[in-house]
Amino acid sequence: MFCSGPLAELTVVDWDTEPGTCPECGEYAKGTFETVPGLALLNFVDDGEAEYFGQTDVCWDMQTTDRDEQGRATLMCPAGHTWQAAMDEQCSTTGSGERDGSLTTSSDH
């Protein structure tokens, strides 16, 4: 489910380690890997050939969390370690467009 707007609240639950911590070093997750599409702008010259303009318009409303085959999000800690986590996102009922949800981390990495 896609909701635009900032992430309002994300609850992390892990039964093996402290909630939201890296299974390798114990640091809290810095964030999730995201895919944000963009449109690389072109500049057409006199002979009809195109050159990159040097600017990309980012489509923030199409941002999605990267997930593995099982639907788990990829988390990263400040040290650069990654691990998978099950994430259940739901749009808030306030109509504000903010996202909230829960995250259950897994020791698979």
Provide the sign of the torsion angle of the four alpha carbons 19, 109, 6, 97, taken in this order: negative
Domain limits, the chain: 7-105
Summarised one tens digit per residue, pLDDT across range 50-74 is: 999 999 999 999 999 999 998 888 9
94 or 72, greater pLDDT: 72
Arithmetic mean of pLDDT, 63-87: 90
The backbone torsions φ and ψ at residue 61, rounded to the nearest 5 degrees and listed phi first, read: -70, -10
Which pLDDT belongs to residue 91?
A: 45
Spatial separation of the C-alpha atoms in residues 106 and 109, rounded to whole Å: 8
Provide the sign of the torsion angle of the four alpha carbons 101, 103, 104, 106, taken in this order: positive
Summarised one tens digit per residue, pLDDT across range 10-19 is: 555 444 556 6
